[in-house]
Structure 1
Amino acid sequence: MTVYLSIDIGGTYIKYAFINDGHELFGHQKIKTNENVDNAIRKQVEEIIDSASDVFTIKGVGISTAGIVDRERGKIIYAGPTIQDYAGTDFKSQLSRKFGLPIHVENDVNAALLGERWKGAAQGEDHVFCITLGTGIGGAYFHQQLVDGFHHQANSVGYLLYDEKTNTNYESRAATSALNRVIEQEVGKGIEAKEVFDRAKSGDKKCMAIIHSWASEVAKGLAQIIILIDPKCILIGGGISRQGEFLLKLVQEHVVQFLPKNFLITELKIAELFNDAALYGAVYPFFKEEL
């Protein structure tokens, strides 16, 4: 069988799957991301391609990855602390040379947005901003094409709203990791965010207060995006987005507090593809011309 291989590199796991000419994503697998010593992550990707080539004929490889990516060179040009020594990692030239395959490399939030535009909640939409809430917060914007900025650093929204007094920024206060820290302090160790949401839905006032406080922090950043970019819609992604309409209603309730009266026209939506979004988006360039 002839397929494309899609790989999504995160700080904790590397996920991968295959996609056929019918756009069917299958064969999902994941491995723990190695500590990135001596190009360990690129070597893991090489091993994935090697093993996949034993099973299928691979037509091309799409890579979604944390970090700021120069997609033309297929290279990581900036990376935060999530993956050490990652800046400078060259996927495209190294993998193309070794395997003789076309390679596409894309930032993971950009890839997620492409996936959602192709197969998810924003199909065919233009003027779409995607924000992912996870260990950190990432952003991506699509207007006729992905909009990266001159230095590829646009939409790094996790760095917004820096507060000198607390030495925190937007993602320090509004990522799901921030929510989890509050839950551990105020509810107890080992309690997951899903349980706190369930308790809040059942009327637990303490849990509802925690979620409202966190949703307010999320909304502050969304308000900045709306003011600066005026997107048609904002997609909210990341694992926490599985809370669906309940989460959406909370965030919408708080966003209006940080905007002028009657200013909110941008539609807020929940992403649909979850972990598959970036896997679809990573290989989307191979299918783009046929669509």
Structure 2
Amino acid sequence: MKSYVSIDIGGTAIKYGVIAEDGTILIKDKMDTEAYKGGPEILNKVFRIVENYLEKYKLVGICISTAGMVDTEKGEIFYSAPLIPRYTGTKFKEELERRFSIPCEVENDVNCAGLAERISGAATDSKVTLCLTIGTGIGGCILIDRNIFHGFSNSACEVGYMHMFDSDFQTLGATSILTKKVAVRKQDSEEIWDGYHIFEEAKKGDDICITAIDEMVEIIGVGIANICYVINPEVVVLGGGIMAQDIYLKPKIEKAMKKYLLPSIAERTRLEFAKHKNDAGMLGAFYNFKNKH
């Protein structure tokens, strides 16, 4: 049976596993990224993952989803935030194909998440899809049918840098900002106020938590509306850890979207929450490989 190793490299964790030809995840695991060690050590971790699976599986493809801006033709990182030092210039495709003689494809992690939702998740059959992941920062992906829109220089939909209110989208609307706001207003440590704790307290009626969430929702609504005016998506899919609070957040974000979108657009723009959650990157990397082969 043909098998594919799929590796999703994030700033905190590397999720990885083996996927069958039909898209079934056969086995999966994760390890700490240890981003502070830099790009060369991450590449070594990827080498070890592939080597371990080669002992048990007949691998015909190496599928990589990764943080950072990716040159998808070369399969390398051409820009990375300081979170992962010496990551810019990492040549995954070249290094892995030379070492293992197995085809490798590399794609940005948010693009992979969007592709997974479009093919087998929350946005199946959508003609134009916008996927946003909201976490430490905010990332975006545009899909036309099943194809990722990369733009001229592989930098399309870097919406986190979009200017808003004398700042930018991710500086105002990311989950990390929510936790900082609550901690400051309560004069507590940020370690105490993770996203889960904030939402649990909001559901119990905590005014500070409710207000901070509502402020985040307002920013997300403005950001989504601005993007919708440009690309007019059929479906907006929201992912990221905080989006596990879909029941609490969905009506609030829909209300914010309606506030900032013209009625004729709002009524034809559907909001969904990601279904694949932690498997989205791995699945999207696999789908990306299959699309190219």
TM-score by length of 1: 0.92
Match of 1:75 in 2: 76
**2:183 paired with 1:184:** yes
Verify the 8 A CA contact 1:134 1:177 in the aligned structure 2. Answer: yes
Looking at structure 1, the residues matched to 49 and 64 of structure 2 have their Cα atoms a distance apart, in angstroms, of 12
Distance 1:77 1:286, change over 3 A: closer
1:275 is paired with a residue of what secondary structure?
helix
2:110 aligned partner: 109
**What residue is the counterpart of 2:158 in the other structure?**
156
CA apart distance, 1:255: 2.1
Q: Is the 8 A contact 1:161 1:221 kept in 2?
A: no
Cα distance change of structure 1 residues 13 and 252 upon mapping to structure 2, 3 Å threshold: same
The structure 1 residue matched to 2:271, chosen from 268, 273, 290, is 268
Larger deviation, residues 218-227 vs 101-110: 218-227
Equivalenced residue count is 287
AA at the equivalent of 1:6: S
Distance 2:87 2:292 in 1: 31
**Greater mean deviation of Cα atoms: 71-80 or 95-104:** 71-80
Structure 1 spans left out of the alignment, 5+ residues: none
The residue identity in structure 1 corresponding to 2:193 is: I
Does the 8 A contact of 1:8 with 1:65 survive in 2?
yes
> Which residue pairs with 2:250 in the alignment?
248
Partners of 2:129 and 2:237 within 8 A in 1? yes
C-alpha deviation, 1:108, in angstroms: 0.3
Name the CA shift for 1:40/1:210 in 2 (closer, same or farther; >3 Å): same
TM-score, structure 2 as length reference:
0.92
1:15 aligns with 2:15: yes
Gaps of 5+ in 2: none
Question: Is 2:26 aligned against 1:26?
Answer: yes
* Residue number among 170, 192, 195 corresponding to 1:193 in the alignment: 195
Aligned to 1:175: 174
- Quick check: 2:69–2:155 contact (8 Å CA) kept in 1? yes
* Residues in 1 aligned to 2:82 and 2:240: alpha-carbon distance in whole angstroms: 19
State the 1:63 CA deviation: 0.2
Three-state SS of the structure 1 residue aligned to 2:106 is: strand
User: What is the CA distance between 1:203 and its match in structure 2?
Assistant: 2.9
Correspondence for 1:258: 260
Deviations 1:34-79 (A, max 9, x none): 3344622111111111111122221111000011111111111111
Which string of whole-angstrom CA distances, capped at 9 and with x for unpartnered residues, describes residues 234-257 of structure 1?
Answer: 100111111113211111112233
Query: Which residue in 1 is equivalent to 2:226?
Result: 224
What is the deviation of 1:223? 1.1
Q: Which amino acid aligns with 1:170?
A: F
Over the aligned positions, Cα root-mean-square deviation in angstroms equals 1.9
- Aligned residue for 2:153, secondary structure, equals coil
**3-state DSSP of counterpart to 2:148:** coil
Checking the alignment, whether the CA contact within 8 Å between 1:233 and 1:268 is kept in structure 2 is yes
Asked if the contact 1:133–1:240 (Cα under 8 Å) also holds between the matched residues in 2, the reply is yes
* SS of residue in 2 equivalent to 1:281: helix
Q: Partners in 2 of 1:44 and 1:225 — Cα distance?
A: 36
% same residue: 35
- Of the structure 1 ranges 231-240 and 177-186, higher mean CA displacement relative to structure 2 is found in 177-186
